[in-house]
Amino acid sequence: MTQPIELTAPNNTTYLQPTRPFINNEFVLSLSGQTLSTVNLFVESVIVSVSSAGPDNSDLAVAAAQKAFKSSEWKSVTGYDRGVLLTRLAELCDRDKHILATIDAWDNGKPYEQALNEDLAEVVSIFRYYGGWADKIHGQTIPTSDAKLAYTRHATIGVCGQIIPWNYPAMMAAWKLGPALACGNTVVIKEAEQTPLSILYLATLIREAGFPAGVVNVVNGPGATAGASIASHPGIDKIAFTRSTITGRAIMKAAASNLKTITLETGGKSPLVVFEDANLDQAVKWSHVGIMSNMGQICTSTSRIYVHDSAYETFVNHGPQVSAAQRDRILRYFEAAKKEGATIVLGENQPPNNAKGYFAHPIIFKDTDRNMTPEVFGPFVGIHQQDAIDKANDTEYGLGAAIFTENITRAHTVAAAIEAGIVWINSSQDSHFAIPFGGYKQSGIGRELGEYALSAYTQVKVVHVNLGTWLQI
């Protein structure tokens, strides 16, 4: 395979698409000899075949990152200069945002406008934001007595392995690269096998920005081979991962081999609670945003909605289902849930079989538990009044939660009681690069974004200085 290759994307952008692993600032041959194909999801045709890195490539990438980490070329780059490099990278991403957005729209299937105005806007902001932090990472002095000086240094960790998902390809890369590089680490990053293209393009910009060879290395490939070899690699000091809880667990297990520092942003099943005093127009609008954004492919999607009885009729005011088959499916689940013993509040009076239109009347179970609510794709919701908080917390996950109320006291007391890393009051899915992101329980470990992400990419060293001998003079 020649490399890179010229591609014309759907909006007629022509660009050079790298297709090989990126190690030591070069696109290198894959040692596995295997390829993976990225697919145009609209027409199911292959966009391009990308070389798939095997464990041998991971070894080379880790060796390059280790060498760069120890090299004076990278060590002598001051915090201020790392900030300059990141800011330059932000400018290059801004310059090429149409190409990057085109690639992600193509590779991931998301609308181009969304890729451009949301994902790429955030990529640029994140590199600028962490460029700003790079020379502001410092420790504390801790006074204890006149005889002693103690201070902390927020030191680099070393080689960071980063494994990212397919739902926001370039953006997830920026979330992870920004703080890691601001703190002075080196990186081996693996993008998801479904969406490898934008990160490989980003690698060309990293090189152009002036990052020394080996500071950022990109390996393509499947999770079971390329991903697993990073998670278990003894030369990697930290692992950061985003996506499913199951894979997160496997990565954590593999990372235990050399006690890697770990950051996991895993799954969610986030609640959205609408109280009786909520502004219903807002609640409906954000409920839609909360589950439909990015085609529902967000780990913080608010996929469990709890609505107070008095607001319910207005909240679910809705039209027919998409087909007779879908309406029948909803009604079949309804019958099955009844058989499982659910208590029905509303929904017994469904339209007769010969009624016109594919309508299913709203169905409410008072005591719905998780086992009784499969994914139905219809007006099928559990209602809980007294126990909104208990129900909201009745999940192994704890990533996001949305609350709708106009009562300021209730808003803050419920926000405090909800077991989730992110709570939205009167919205859903709000996110900002300056605000930490991450979950409780099975939704992850550690926080990304904001100043908090810096602690995920530094380790604290404490220095004790004995001044006692001078005091005796």
250 binds ligand ADP (CB under 6 A): yes
Count of residues of this chain found to bind ligand ADP when the rule CB under 6 A is applied: 17
Of the ranges 3-11, 41-49, 219-227, 412-420, which one interacts with ligand ADP (CB under 6 A)?
Answer: 219-227
Distance CA 220, CA 254 (A): 19
Q: By CB under 6 A, what part of segment 114-173 binds ligand ADP?
A: 163-165
Reported in sequence order, the residue ranges of 260-368 that DSSP labels E, i.e. its strands, are: 261-265, 271-274, 304-307, 344-346, 363-365
Per the annotation, the verdict on 348 as an active-site residue is no
For residue 96, the SS3 value is coil
Residue 193 is a binding residue for ligand ADP (CB under 6 A): yes
In the complex with ligand ADP, the residue whose CB is nearer, 222 or 351, is 222
Question: Judged by CB, which is closer to ligand ADP: 164, or 180?
Answer: 164
Q: Does 244 bind ligand ADP (CB under 6 A)?
A: yes
Smallest distance, Å, CB 269 to ligand ADP?
15
For the record, the structure tokens of 88 come out as 């330059």
- Residue for token pair 């209730």: 410
CB 199 to ligand ADP: min, Å: 10
- Binding region for ligand ADP (CB under 6 A) out of 123-131, 223-231, 285-293, 342-350: 223-231
- CB under 6 A: which stretch of 30-38, 90-98, 245-253, 276-284 binds ligand ADP? 245-253
Of 83-112, which residues contact ligand ADP (CB under 6 A)? Answer: none
Q: How many helical (H) and strand (E) elements, i.e. helices and strands, does the chain have?
A: 17, 23
Query: Which amino acid is residue 39, in one-letter code?
Result: V
Instruction: Kindly state whether residue 199 participates in binding ligand ADP, applying the rule CB under 6 A.
Output: no
- Residue 324 contacts residue 351 (beta carbons within 8 Å): no
Of 162 and 287, the one with the shorter C-beta distance to ligand ADP is 162
Does 238 engage in binding with ligand ADP (CB under 6 A)? no
Q: Of these, 20, 110, 207, 243, which contacts ligand ADP (CB under 6 A)?
A: 243
What is the nearest approach in angstroms of ligand ADP to the Cβ of residue 440? 19
Q: How far is the CB of 222 from ligand ADP (least distance, A)?
A: 6
If the CB atoms of residues 100 and 164 are measured against ligand ADP, the closer one turns out to be 164
Q: Give whichever of 192 and 381 is closer to ligand ADP, judged by the CB atom.
A: 192
Site stretch for ligand ADP (CB under 6 A), options 64-72, 81-89, 179-187, 218-226: 218-226
Residue 227 binds to ligand ADP (criterion: CB under 6 A): yes
In the complex with ligand ADP, the residue whose CB is nearer, 250 or 403, is 250
Q: Which is nearer to ligand ADP, 214 or 227 (CB)?
A: 227
Other beta carbons within 10 angstroms of residue 250's beta carbon come to 18
Taking CB under 6 A as the criterion, the residue among 60, 189, 228, 273 binding ligand ADP is 228
Nearer to ligand ADP, 125 or 242 (CB): 242
- Rounded-to-integer distance, Cα 53 and Cα 30, Å: 5
Burial annotation 77-91 (CB, 10 A radius, 16+ → b, else e): bebeebbbbbbbbbb
Sheet holding 26-27, edge to edge: 26-27, 22-23, 216-219, 186-190, 159-163, 238-242, 261-265, 444-445
Q: Quote the least distance from Cβ 237 to ligand ADP, whole Å.
A: 16
CB of 172 vs ligand ADP, minimal distance in Å: 9
C-alpha–C-alpha distance, residues 153 and 183, integer Å: 12
Output the CA angle 431-266-256, nearest 5 degrees.
Answer: 130
Among 16, 224, 322, 462, binds ligand ADP (CB under 6 A): 224
Between residues 362 and 444, which has the closer beta carbon with respect to ligand ADP? 444
In the list 30, 220, 247, 321, the residue contacting ligand ADP (rule: CB under 6 A) is: 247
Kindly name the residue from 6, 265, 406, 448 that is annotated as catalytic: 265
Listed in sequence order, the residues at least 6 apart from 285 whose beta carbon sits closer than 8 Å to its beta carbon are none
Asked if 202 and 168 touch (Cβ cutoff 8 Å), the reply is no
| Phi, psi for residue 38 in degrees, rounded to 5 | -95, 145
SS3 of residue 189 by DSSP: strand
Question: Residues 53, 182, 231, 298: which binds ligand ADP (CB under 6 A)?
Answer: 231
User: Does residue 251 bind ligand ADP (CB under 6 A)?
Assistant: yes
- Among residues 165, 115, 195, 175, which one has the least CA distance to residue 266? 165
SS3 of residue 247 by DSSP: helix
> Considering only CA atoms, which of 430, 432, 402, 428 is closest in space to residue 415?
402
Per-residue buried b or exposed e for 439-464, using 16+ beta carbons within 10 Å of the residue's own CB:
bbbbbbbbbbbbeebbbbbbeeeeee
User: Which residues are known catalytic residues?
Assistant: 265
Positions that interact with ligand ADP (CB under 6 A) = 163-165, 190, 192-193, 222-224, 227-228, 231, 243-244, 247, 250-251
